[in-house]
Chains A and B, each alone.
Chain A
Amino acid sequence: MNILVCIKQVPDMESKFKISSDGQWYDQSDLTFKINEYDEYAIEEAVRLKEKLGNAEVVALSIGPERTKEVIRKALAIGIDKGVHVLDNDSHEKDPLQIATIIANYAKDKNFDIVFLGMQSQDRASAQVGPILSELLGYNCVTTIVGFEHQESKVNVKRELEGGIKAKISVKLPVILTCQLGLNTVRYPTLPNIMKAKKKELNTINVNDLLNEQPKVVNLQAYIPEKKKGGILLEGKADEVADKLISILKEKTQVLR
């Protein structure tokens, strides 16, 4: 079984964001980067499947600048076999169709049976790459999975809908699956595995060798939204802030008297 996991490096969402000097994106300097949360579930599910099957190879692919190697190394330390880094210093300028095209061009002659991706990235949140990839490769695709079970030539998955309802779907391989929060519990890499990961194969491909698609969506401008007016901001000593909050609650709600 050949398995591909696509991962993205994203900034910590608790960062203080600034707009880049060209006004098109966020300023990427001074940010802490990590694996996109949704992709962590994808990595974990792929590693679990490999452990269950024994005879599977799992490749992790990530597109981005040099620092992207960090997330691939972490994936290797969790149990992925091989890393592929598509070096692209301007990956943030690519639209979802271009990103999916890069992945499809890498994957097209490699006979992957299952491709796991996160359902969306935490920064862009377009939720498009998985389904577009399925169109480009001609694979089946189920999005937003919260349950996974492999059975010979098919997989049984649970697809999350609104209001806590799940759809049960059985789908033939090859298949693309986009992973939702809560699919599994992600493990931490252990020190011996971090050491082992250093010896694993990590190849770099230049993005120009894989991309033959123009953007279909143009970025015009990025900006910080205006703060909501009217909300009260309380800060300072916990003791004093608590008193203030209590008096506001007494005045503005019927909850406290």
Chain B
Amino acid sequence: MKALLIGEYKNGHIDESFYELVGFANKIGASSVGFMVAPLDVKPEYDGKVYIADISKAKDYNPKVHKGLILKLVEKENPDVVVFSHSSYGWDLAPRLAAALRAGQISEVIDVDNGEYIVPFCNAKLRRKVKPNTPKAVLTLQSGAFAPLKNNTAQIEPFDYTEEDTNLEFQGYEVAEKTGVDLTKAEVIISAGRGVGKKENIEIVRSLAKALKGELGASRPVVDAGWLDESYQVGTTGQTVAPKLYIACGISGAIQHLVGMKKSNFIVAINKDKDAPIAEVADVFVAADLLEFIPMLTSKLTK
């Protein structure tokens, strides 16, 4: 078994997710080689060969060029699996590669057993066991699912490529302004999810936050709906927090939210759906209608 591990180079660093791919290869007992588009002088802490395509030529985002590079490498190394992180880079590139190779792709792998892969579905309320039936397979791994592995310093092999894609022009990044609260420093966070129902009901959650001298947080739909601004969002595309106490109000517990808050010391979920996946991480799960329960709790706390 041989794995080609596709690392990511982001904001001037090798993304830590690369080491989870290494951990995965180790877990399945595969030999592996790495690949990433990065400066030629990077030093991955990896015990093996890493092919580097010069980022100044291949650019941060140019999927056609990146796909071409990986296809060339697949031909050279003949791996059984090509492994990406399930990230904006991975979910964009992996299916293009899989289609070009006519290979089966399995997204968001959380575990593996003897060539059978486990993936969550229906907002992680259910799991599926699946298996590729093509000679090669393309995988994306859910972040945090495999323990990272770091080892020595890789042997770097520059990987040259010249093709351009003139159909697509990358015009730079837009970074959200840091406004409002810094949730990363908060000791108590009370977050509102879509389950609050409407903008006015945010006040119910805000009162609870006040009673507990904590900060208000939010899941993404609350921000998308304009009920609170971006600085309140917890999750992959929001902030990563680790307070002493996190109370999730009307939040189902989608992986992208969990990633941002599961390091919290003590987690309370208030949700009327006992099967909500937030139960996976909650220390206390309050099965209740938050519109009834939170005002009751707040009044007892402020009494």
Please list the residues of chain A having a beta carbon within 8 angstroms of any beta carbon in chain B. Answer: 11, 13-14, 16-17, 19, 26, 95-97, 100, 119-120, 122-132, 134-136, 140-144, 156, 158-172, 181-182, 185, 215-225, 227-228, 230-235, 238-239, 241-243, 245-246, 248-249, 252-256
Contacts and interface: CB of A to CB of B under 8 A. Distances in A.
Contact of B284 (A219, A231, A238): A231
B55 interface: no
B125 A224 contact: yes
A13 B293 contact: no
Interface in B12-34: none
A125 B108 contact: yes
B1 interface: no
A239 B122 CA distance: 33
Contacts, number: 256
A232 B284 contact: yes
Interface of B: 10, 60-61, 63, 86-88, 91-96, 98-100, 102-108, 116, 120-134, 167-176, 187-188, 212, 214, 220-221, 223-226, 230, 233, 236-238, 244-245, 252, 265-266, 268, 273-276, 279-288, 292-293, 296-297, 300-301
A253 B244 contact: yes
Contacts of B106: 217
23 contacts: A13-B125, A14-B252, A126-B105, A128-B95, A132-B95, A135-B100, A140-B167, A144-B88, A160-B237, A162-B236, A165-B176, A167-B170, A169-B61, A170-B168, A225-B126, A228-B281, A234-B284, A235-B274, A238-B293, A249-B268, A252-B266, A253-B245, A255-B188
Nearest to A97: B99
Nearest to B195: A14
Contacts of B188: 255
Judged by DSSP, the binding face of B is mixed
Nearest to B238: A164
Contact of B133 (A143, A215, A225, A228): A215
A221 B99 contact: no
A231 B98 contact: no
A167 B238 contact: no
Contacts of B100: 135
B113 to A, nearest CB: 11
A168 B296 contact: no
Contacts of A181: 220-221, 224
Contacts of B170: 167-169
B282 to A, nearest CB: 5
Given A167-B173, A253-B265, A242 B297 contact: yes
Contacts of A125: 107-108, 120-121, 123
Which 6 A-B residue pairs are closest in the complex by CB-CB distance? Answer: A216-B104, A182-B224, A135-B99, A131-B95, A128-B95, A235-B287
A239 B220 contact: no
Contacts of A246: 297, 300-301
B131 A252 contact: no
Contacts of A135: 95-96, 99-100
B104 A95 contact: yes
Nearest to A222: B128
B179 to A, nearest CB: 11
A13 B96 contact: no
Count chain B CB atoms within 10 A of each CB in A132, A216, A219 and give the residue with the most: A216
Given A216-B105, A255-B188, A162 B237 contact: yes
Given A169-B169, A227-B280, A234-B288, 8 more contacts: A120-B91, A130-B95, A167-B174, A169-B168, A218-B130, A220-B131, A224-B127, A235-B286
B103 A216 contact: yes
A141 B225 CA distance: 27
A159 B300 contact: no
Contacts of A216: 98, 102-105, 132-134
